Every structure is written in structure tokens, then in C-alpha cells.
């Protein structure tokens, strides 16, 4: 069972995807964290987000994911960078380097490999990102597109950052979210968009629990023997 959850920053994808995976005993794969690890490599190499730089940076770069219980972590060339990839600078760089074809090819291939492996070992995988239902697994069993009002998304992001000890203004977070949305939606390769067969979940006025229930209900529907006419 492959479940994809795509949507813009702050729509609630990661929290929901993680909880759905836990509830169904599937594995969670945060594809954004993988792009963030690549972005950190660019930041550390002081490289601009260009195709030229990508060929150098990607050359000897390895991104691995690992799990501590239900929590996914990321390693960059063997180093645990799970916390380091959560800064605003890395987020902005991730949005930029994820427009580069070489970066996407490498990440998509790795995400397909990991997703297939998780299905084999755990019966299912829940991926979250921007293109997991359109590009990574277009044949996924359940596709969700999550969205929410940008101010609500900014409020959530601000709260998250404050919980991590960073103080930011709501206006600044909103501005960053709107800029990142525009970047993610208008890029040439794998732009953020709803797959035609994805179900939209607007989370503006929903609790996490309602979101998780909604996705799990979709999965239960898809599991019914007559779900695809068989
Ligand atoms: O979900 P996130 O904010 O951690 O993702 C960081 C950036 O990575 C985001 O701006 C776009 C990019 N990304 C992507 O292009 N494709 C994905 N499947 C996931 C993330």
C-alpha cells in the first residue's frame, strides 16, 4: 500500500503523514527532509543553487534515512543532520535546489527505492512531499493533496519554530511561506500540484486527529476488495 501526501509548507502534511504511518504500522518517508539534507550540503559548501554547482555537490553526496522508533532521521554522508536541516536558511535553499534536474533525479530514484523497500518489509509506506503522487509514485493506492489558508499555515510554522526556541514574526513567516509556495508551484520540473486522482484535504479548520481519520478512511476504502473494480 502506497500513500502519498503532497501539499505546500505548513499544510500539516508531515504531522499527518507520520501519524497515519504509526496508526497503520507503515513506514513514514519525509521526502522534504531528503531535499533539505542536499540543501545543507550546498550551504556548507557555500555553493549557489545552480546546475553547475549541483554536479560538484552531488558527486560524492549520500543521503540516508534512518528510524528511531517511528521517528525518521536523515544522514548526510553518514552524519546525523536531522536537527540541522530545520533552519529557515536550509528551507529556502531546499526550495531552490529542488528546482535542479540532477537533484530531483537523484532524490526521486532514492525515494522510489526506499518506498518499494518499505512496502516489502512493512506492507506500506506513507510519503509526504510536493511530487510524491505526481512523479515519485504516480501509481500510488491513495493520494492526498493537503492545503490550508496561508495565514493559518504561517501561524502553525511560527508555533513550531517557537517550540524549537526560535523567535520569528508572523509576517516574516507568512512572507516566507508565500514566496516558497510560488517557487514550488511555478518551477519547470515536478511543480507542486494536485495529481488528478488525488483527494483534496483542506486543513485550515481541522484538527490533526480529524486529518488522520480522513486519510485512514481513504486507505480503508482503497483496501476494500472491490476498490478498483476487482
Ligand atoms: O516539506 P519541506 O518544507 O521540508 O520541503 C523543503 C523543500 O523541498 C520545499 O521547498 C520543496 C522541496 N521538496 C520538493 O521539491 N519535493 C518534495 N517531494 C519534497 C520537498
H helix intervals, 49-166: 51-59, 88-97, 101-122, 150-163
For residue range 157-180, list pLDDT tens digits in order: 899 889 888 888 999 999 989 988
Question: Measured in angstroms, how far is the CA atom of residue 31 from the centroid of ligand 1?
Answer: 7
- Atom nearest to 131 CA in ligand 1: 18
Question: Shortest CA distance to 19 belongs to which of 224, 230, 211?
Answer: 211
Ordered domains of the chain (ranges, CATH): 1-17+125-216 (3.40.50.300), 27-123 (3.40.50.300)
Q: Is the pTM of this model over 0.85?
A: yes
Nearest C-alpha to atom 15 of ligand 1 is from which residue? 98
Distant-in-sequence, close-in-space partners of 142: CB < 8 Å, separation ≥ 6: 1, 2, 3, 4, 199, 215, 218, 219, 222
For 29-66, write each residue's pLDDT tens digit: 999 999 999 999 999 999 999 999 999 999 989 999 99
Q: Is 1 exposed, middle or buried (0-12, 13-18, 19+ CB in 10 A)?
A: middle
Nearest CA to ligand 1 atom 6: 32
Mutate which of 14, 17, 35, 87 to test ligand 1's pocket (most atoms within 8 Å of Cβ)?
Answer: 35
Q: Grid coordinates in use for 167? A: 523567535
Amino acid at each position: 500500500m502506497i500513500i502519498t501526501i503532497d501539499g505546500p509548507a505548513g499544510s500539516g502534511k508531515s504531522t499527518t503523514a507520520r501519524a497515519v504511518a504509526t496508526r497503520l504500522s507503515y513506514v513514514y518517508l519525509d521526502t522534504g527532509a531528503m531535499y533539505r539534507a542536499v540543501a545543507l550540503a550546498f550551504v556548507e559548501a557555500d555553493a549557489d543553487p545552480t546546475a553547475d554547482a549541483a554536479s560538484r555537490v552531488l558527486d560524492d553526496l549520500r543521503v540516508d534515512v534512518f528510524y528511531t522508533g517511528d521517528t525518521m532521521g536523515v544522514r548526510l554522508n553518514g552524519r546525523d543532520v536531522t536537527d540541522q536541516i530545520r533552519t529557515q536558511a536550509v528551507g529556502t535553499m531546499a526550495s531552490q535546489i529542488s528546482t535542479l534536474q540532477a537533484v530531483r533525479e537523484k532524490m526521486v530514484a532514492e525515494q522510489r527505492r526506499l518506498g518499494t523497500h518499505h512496502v516489502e518489509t512493512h506492507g506500506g509506506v506513507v510519503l509526504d512531499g510536493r511530487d510524491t503522487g505526481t512523479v515519485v509514485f504516480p501509481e500510488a493506492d491513495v493520494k492526498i493533496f493537503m492545503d490550508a489558508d496561508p495565514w493559518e499555515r504561517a501561524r502553525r510554522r511560527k508555533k513550531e519554530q517557537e517550540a524549537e526556541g526560535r523567535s520569528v514574526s508572523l509576517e516574516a513567516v507568512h512572507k516566507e511561506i508565500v514566496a516558497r509556495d510560488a517557487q514550488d508551484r511555478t518551477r519547470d520540473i515536478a511543480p507542486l500540484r494536485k495529481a488528478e486522482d488525488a483527494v483534496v484535504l483542506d486543513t485550515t479548520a481541522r484538527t490533526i486527529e480529524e486529518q488522520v481519520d480522513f486519510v485512514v478512511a481513504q486507505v480503508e476504502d482503497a483496501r476494500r476488495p472491490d476498490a478498483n473494480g476487482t
